[in-house]
Chains A and B, each alone.
Chain A
Amino acid sequence: MTAPLLSIRNLRTWFYTEAGVARAVDGVSFDIGAGETLGLVGESGSGKSVTALSILRLIQPPGRIESGSVIEFEGKDIVTLGDDEIRDIRGNRISMIFQEPMSALNPVFTVGDQVAEVARVHGGMSRRDAWDRAVEMLALTGIPDADSRAKQYPHQLSGGMRQRVLIAMALMMKPALVIADEPTTALDVTIQAQILDLLVDLQKKIGTSILMITHDLGVIAETASRVIVMYAGEVVEQAEVDELFAKPQHPYTEGLMHSMPHIGHDQERLNVIPGTVPAPTEWPAGCRFRDRCPYSWDRCASEHPPLYQIGTGHVSRCHLAVEPERRNHPHPPVVVEAGVAAA
C-alpha cells in the first residue's frame, strides 16, 4: 500500500470552557488514501466536525489542538506548520464544503468573483484568467448558463445552486482533498440527490480524495468506500462500506442502523438507543457508550476498550470483539439518570 494522502495520529482537540475541558476530539487516528472517499459518521457531539476543522487548523480559542497530535499531509505536519504555510494549503491542497451554503458565501460579491478569488490567491492568476476559469468551473458543476450566473449575487441563487458554487470554489485548485461537512443536510432530498451525484462525478474527473462527513447513513452508503463511525470524541468503528453495513460490530453502529426507519421495511416500533450522548466535559471512564449499550458488563466500566482488529481493515472499539458470546445475552440498557449515576 502506498503512503496515505492524509494521516492523522492521536488527534486531540480540546476546548477549555467554563464548564471544564471539553474533549471534543479525543485521540482520533485514521488515514485517507489518494482518490478515496472516506465517510465519517456520527451524531451531534461526536466530534466529527471538530475533526474536520482540525485538519484545516480552523480551531478557534478556547479550542486547541493538543501537542502530540499529528496530522500528516503530503509529508508535512499540519499541526506544527507556520501560518503562511497553512494558508497555502487551505483552499488549495485541501478545501472544504460547508453545510450552510448561504453563510459560507459573501453576500456583497458576485459568485463568479468569489470563485475567481480562489485562483487569484492560490494560482496567482490574472483577473481575466481567474474569471474565465471560474466560469468554466461553475459550468462543470452543472450550473446552467454559467456565464451570466457568475455575475449574480448569492441571494439570487437557490440553495442547490449555492451549494454548486461552493463546490466550484472547493474544486477550483484541483485539491488533493476535499472535506465535505454535511454538504447536503440543508438541501431538499431531490436537490441532495443532484449534489451527491455531482460530487461523485467530479471526484472521478478530478481524482481528488473526499472526506464525507454526515449523520446520514444513507449518504454514506451511496458515496463512501470506507467508513469511520465516531462517538463521544473517538473512533468506535472503521470498515469498508459493504462490510460495515453487512456486519456492524460496535453496538453504537448497530443501534444507529436499527433506529433509522427504512423505506419498504415496516416496523411496528422503531428501535431506539436510549439516553443521550454524555457531555464532552465528562466522558465516562471505561467505554463511553456503556450506559446506552444493551450488552455492557463490568469490564466495560473498568477498562476503556481499545480498537480491536475484527478483520481486514475492520476495527471496533468494543470488548465484544474478545468476548463475543456476550452478544447473545443482551439486557435492558443501564441508562443512569444524570446526578444519580454514582448511587
Chain B
Amino acid sequence: MPWQTQDFAAASGPTPQRESPLALSVRNILRKPSSRVALFVLGVIVLVGLLAPLIAPYNPAAQPDIVGLKDLPPSLAHPFGTDPYSRDVLSRVIYGARLSLMIGILATIVSLTLGVAYGAIAGYAGGILDAVMMRVLDAFLSIPRLLLLIGVLVAWPKLSIGALVVFLGLTGWFGLSRIVRGQVLALKHAEFVTAAQALGASRRRILWRHLLPNIVSPIVVAATLGVAHVIVLEAGLSYLGIGVPKPLASWGNIIQDGSDQFPTMWWMSLFPGLFMVLTVMTLNILAESLSDAYERRR
C-alpha cells in the first residue's frame, strides 16, 4: 500500500500572495485609468489647498486698490481676475480650496463618528433598541438636510466656522448609520464572529476587531461621497450668505461675491465653480471605484 497516512507536507499549495486585504483593494482601485486620473487631480487640489500660503501670489484678503484694481478680467498679473474689492481671485480660489476641503473633511469626520457609532450599536444590539433607534432615524431622515441647515443658520446668524462644521456634520450621519447598521446586522452572525464569541471575546472586542474592520469599505465609500456632498452644501449655503462668514474665502463665498454681476464678471463664478466641480467629480469617481473594488472582493 503506497498510500501514506501521513501528510507531512500538507502545507503546500498554490503560492500564496503576500498581500493584505487593504493592499489588494488599493490595487483594485488603481487598476482603472479613470480612478488614477481622479486620484491625481484630487491630489493636486489637496496639495494646492495644503500649500496655499506658498502658492497663492497674493494675500487673499488684501484689497490693494479698491477703485483701480477692482473687477478686472483675467490677465497675466491676475490670471483669474479680481473681485469687486480688488482681491486676487486666483489667491482666493487657492485659499478656498483649503477651506472648502477642510470643512468637507472635518464635517464628514463628525458625521462618520456619529453614524458609525449609532449604526453599529443599533445593528449589534438588535431587538427593541434597534427598532427604537431606527424609528428615531426615520424621523431625522424625513427632514431635508438643506432645510434643516437653513433653519438653523438663519436662526443663528454669525456662526463661527467651527460651529458650521459641527452643524454640517450633525446633519450628515443619518444615511451612513443606516449603511453601518445593515452591514453589522449582516455580519454579526458570520461564523468568524461566532468563533470569536466561542473564544470568549467581549462585545466590544467583537465590534472593534471583527465587525468594523470588515465594513470599512462601504464606510469609506460613504465618507468619500459625504465629503463631496458637504462641499456642495457649504458652497450653496455660502452662496445664500449663511455659510462661511465673509471675508473668508470659500468657493461658495467667491461665487457669491460676483453673483451681482454674474454675466459680465464670469471669472468670479467660472474658476471657483470649476474647482468645485472637479473636486466633487473626482471624489465621486473614487467612491465608485472603491465600491467596485469592494464588490469584486466579495
A and B directly contacting (CB within 8 A): yes
Q: Name A residues whose Cβ lies closer than 8 Å to a Cβ of B.
A: 251, 254-255, 258-259, 268-276, 278-279, 282, 291, 294-295, 327, 330, 332-333, 335-339
Q: Is the CB of B4 within 8 A of A276?
A: no
User: Which residues of A lie under 8 Å from residue B15 when comparing CB positions?
Assistant: 279, 282, 338-339
- Mark out the residues of chain B between 1 and 33 whose CB falls within 8 Å of any chain A CB in the assembled complex: 1-16
User: Which residues of A lie under 8 Å from residue B2 when comparing CB positions?
Assistant: 251, 294-295, 327, 330
Shortest distance between the CB of B296 and any CB in chain A (Å) = 11
Q: Besides the contacts A258-B1, A338-B15, what 4 more A-B pairs have beta carbons closer than 8 Å?
A: A274-B8, A276-B12, A333-B4, A335-B9
Looking at chain B's contact residues, the main secondary structure is loop
Shortest distance between the CB of B5 and any CB in chain A (Å) = 4
Q: Is the CB of A276 within 8 A of B14?
A: yes
Size band of the B side of the interface?
Answer: 10 to 19
A/B interface sample: 12 pairs, CB < 8 A:
A259-B3, A271-B4, A272-B4, A274-B10, A276-B12, A276-B13, A279-B15, A330-B2, A335-B9, A335-B10, A336-B12, A339-B15
User: Which residues of B lie under 8 Å from residue A251 when comparing CB positions?
Assistant: 2
Shortest distance between the CB of A258 and any CB in chain B (Å) = 5
Q: Is the CB of A272 within 8 A of B5?
A: yes
The residue in chain B whose Cβ has the minimal distance to the Cβ of A338 is: B15
Complex Cα distance, B3 from A240, in Å, reads: 24
Q: Is the CB of B14 within 8 A of A272?
A: no
User: Which residues of B lie under 8 Å from residue A338 when comparing CB positions?
Assistant: 12-16
Q: Is the CB of B9 within 8 A of A274?
A: yes
The residue in chain B whose Cβ has the minimal distance to the Cβ of A340 is: B12
Q: Is the CB of A258 within 8 A of B3?
A: yes
User: Which residues of A lie under 8 Å from residue B10 when comparing CB positions?
Assistant: 272, 274-276, 335
Complex Cα distance, B6 from A272, in Å, reads: 7
User: Which residues of A lie under 8 Å from residue B13 when comparing CB positions?
Assistant: 275-276, 338
Shortest distance between the CB of A265 and any CB in chain B (Å) = 13
Shortest distance between the CB of A341 and any CB in chain B (Å) = 9
Q: Is the CB of A275 within 8 A of B9?
A: yes
User: Which residues of A lie under 8 Å from residue B5 when comparing CB positions?
Assistant: 268-272
Q: Is the CB of A278 within 8 A of B11?
A: no
Looking at chain A's contact residues, the main secondary structure is loop
Q: Name B residues whose Cβ lies closer than 8 Å to a Cβ of A.
A: 1-16
Complex Cα distance, B57 from A335, in Å, reads: 68
User: Which residues of B lie under 8 Å from residue A327 when comparing CB positions?
Assistant: 2
The residue in chain B whose Cβ has the minimal distance to the Cβ of A45 is: B14
The residue in chain B whose Cβ has the minimal distance to the Cβ of A276 is: B13
Shortest distance between the CB of B298 and any CB in chain A (Å) = 16
Q: Is the CB of B11 within 8 A of A337?
A: yes
Q: Is the CB of A332 within 8 A of B4?
A: yes
The residue in chain B whose Cβ has the minimal distance to the Cβ of A279 is: B14
Complex Cα distance, B7 from A275, in Å, reads: 8
User: Which residues of A lie under 8 Å from residue B14 when comparing CB positions?
Assistant: 276, 278-279, 338
Q: Is the CB of A271 within 8 A of B8?
A: no
- Central interface residue in B1, B3, B11, B15, by most chain A CB within 10 Å: B3
Q: Is the CB of B3 within 8 A of A272?
A: yes
Complex Cα distance, B4 from A330, in Å, reads: 10
User: Which residues of A lie under 8 Å from residue B7 when comparing CB positions?
Assistant: 272, 274-275
Shortest distance between the CB of A290 and any CB in chain B (Å) = 13
Complex Cα distance, B3 from A50, in Å, reads: 30
User: Which residues of B lie under 8 Å from residue A278 when comparing CB positions?
Assistant: 14
Shortest distance between the CB of B68 and any CB in chain A (Å) = 62
User: Which residues of B lie under 8 Å from residue A254 when comparing CB positions?
Assistant: 3
User: Which residues of B lie under 8 Å from residue A259 when comparing CB positions?
Assistant: 3
Shortest distance between the CB of B4 and any CB in chain A (Å) = 6
Complex Cα distance, B14 from A276, in Å, reads: 8
Complex Cα distance, B104 from A18, in Å, reads: 36
Shortest distance between the CB of B2 and any CB in chain A (Å) = 3
User: Which residues of B lie under 8 Å from residue A272 when comparing CB positions?
Assistant: 3-7, 10
User: Which residues of A lie under 8 Å from residue B8 when comparing CB positions?
Assistant: 274, 332, 335
User: Which residues of B lie under 8 Å from residue A269 when comparing CB positions?
Assistant: 5
The residue in chain B whose Cβ has the minimal distance to the Cβ of A271 is: B3
Shortest distance between the CB of A195 and any CB in chain B (Å) = 29
Shortest distance between the CB of A59 and any CB in chain B (Å) = 20
Complex Cα distance, B119 from A235, in Å, reads: 53
Complex Cα distance, B14 from A337, in Å, reads: 9
Complex Cα distance, B3 from A254, in Å, reads: 9
